[in-house]
Amino acid sequence: LAKQAGKDRYQLFDIQLETEIRRKQQALKAISTGLQQGEFELHYQPKINMQTLAFEGAEALIRWQHPQSGLLYPGAFLPVTEGHQVELELGEWVLHSALAQMQQWRLQGFYCPLSINIAAQQIQRSEFADQLAAALQAYPQVNPQQLQLEILETSALEDMELVTDTLLRCRALGVSLALDDFGTGYSSLAYLKRLPIDCLKIDQGFVREMLADADDLSIIQGVLGLAHAFDLHVIAEGVETPAHCRQLLTLGCRYGQGYGIARPMPASALPDWVSKTLPGLHF
Ligand code: C2E
Ligand code: MG
Ligand code: MG
Ligand code: MG
């Protein structure tokens, strides 16, 4: 009897595993189809100088206008793509869409530096720099110096030599590099030392807790000190309230991004936000 029960249990595991694998394959297929159908779009979240209210640019964030489920955020569909072909396809699409948007804005007289998020898989491939070069060539009016690549600091970069080489080649094209969610990875300092980075983005978790938790405040001070020592630009993410803004300014962190400044918005809304809403902000 016990033997039979054990067998049944194994069978149940098999069925669950099979279902899970099939569901994952279906999700990947759906994303790939959605991409072909033009269901993805980029939203843009402003970055500003909190002291002068100067507009510094925006971060492009991917969204999926799902025909049945409505607007989906990356947390709902990116994790399943990790390491798969469709993650690379999405990455290519994001790069081209961001450059196309910059070019279109430029023709309208709106100059907007953009940053895009790059998956670990992308920069772990030597052809990434060639793809970037080809994309930049396809949008000749865009100044590569207005494009920044955000690399997730938490992503395990396996072949550091290859990644460093790829990033150096990207940088030689004129683009700049930021470490995203800085402070949440375990090898922050090693990355700082080895990767050719221009900017640190302080993770929103530290900013959120900073007013209540002295440790988070110390971490932010530490990051600012590191940035100074390595001659890097710093921007705080997750600036949700005027109090966050004021505290960051007191600490000497001038650049910020967060719901307290603006939520990510469709491309069509950004020029007006910059000319009409931004000048009226006060912290
Ligand atoms: P991230 O690059 O760290 O982007 C910041 C995320 O925090 C965005 O979420 C943004 O909407 C959200 N956020 C901004 N300000 C605040 C704030 O004040 N409070 C709070 N609670 N959240 C804030 P989103 O758009 O859902 O993106 C989540 C993550 O998905 C991104 O984190 C990034 O790692 C990834 N991602 C987004 N777009 C892309 C993309 O095109 N390619 C890749 N590979 N990853 C992307
Ligand atoms: Mg980012
Ligand atoms: Mg981040
Ligand atoms: Mg994040």
Place of tokens 């049945």: 68
* Whole-number Å distance between alpha carbons of 153 and 151: 6
Asked if residue 177 lies in contact with residue 151, where contact means CB atoms within 8 angstroms, the answer is yes
Q: Which two tokens stand for residue 73?
A: 């955020």
Q: Which two tokens stand for residue 249?
A: 């300014």
Instruction: Tell me the per-residue pLDDT of 46-94, one tens digit each, with 9 for 90 and over.
Output: 999 999 999 999 999 999 999 999 999 999 999 999 999 999 999 999 9
Nearest CA to ligand 1 atom 45: 117
Instruction: Tell me the per-residue pLDDT of 118-155, one tens digit each, with 9 for 90 and over.
Output: 999 999 998 999 999 999 999 999 999 999 999 986 66
Q: Which amino acid, 251?
A: L
No. of helices (H) and no. of strands (E), the chain: 11, 10
Mean pLDDT across the stretch 240-262? 97
User: Which residues lie below 8 Å from residue 168, measured CB to CB, with a gap of 6+?
Assistant: 196
* Whole-number Å distance between alpha carbons of 8 and 111: 64
Give the 3-state secondary structure percentages of the chain, helix then strand then coil, rounded to 5. Answer: 55, 20, 30
* Whole-number Å distance between alpha carbons of 164 and 143: 23
Closest-approaching ligand to the CA atom of 203? 3
Residues having CB within 6 Å of any atom of ligand 1:
45, 61-62, 73-75, 78, 94, 117-119, 150, 152, 180-181, 204, 237-240, 258-259, 264
Nearest CA to ligand 1 atom 23: 238
Atom of ligand 1 nearest to the CA of 118: 44
Pocket test for ligand 1, best of 78, 81, 118, 124 (most atoms within 8 A of CB): 78
How far, rounded to the nearest angstrom, does the alpha carbon of residue 16 sit from its chain's CA centroid? 33
pLDDT for the residue numbered 156: 66
Helix orientation angle between 85-107 and 128-138, rounded to the nearest 10 degrees: 30
Place of tokens 């970069």: 157
Instruction: Tell me the per-residue pLDDT of 165-190, one tens digit each, with 9 for 90 and over.
Output: 999 999 999 999 999 999 887 667 87
235 forms beta bridges with 201
- The ipTM assigned to this model is 0.98
User: Whole-number mean pLDDT of the chain?
Assistant: 93
- Tell me the percentage of the chain whose pLDDT exceeds 70: 95
Enclosing H/E stretch for 134: helix 128-138
Is the pLDDT confidence value at 197 over 80? yes
Residue 33, CA distances (Å) to 25, 73, 86, 124, 140 in order: 12, 17, 10, 25, 30
pLDDT for the residue numbered 275: 98
Report which DSSP code applies to 278.
G
pLDDT for the residue numbered 194: 84
pLDDT for the residue numbered 3: 64
* Top-confidence residue, 252 or 192: 252
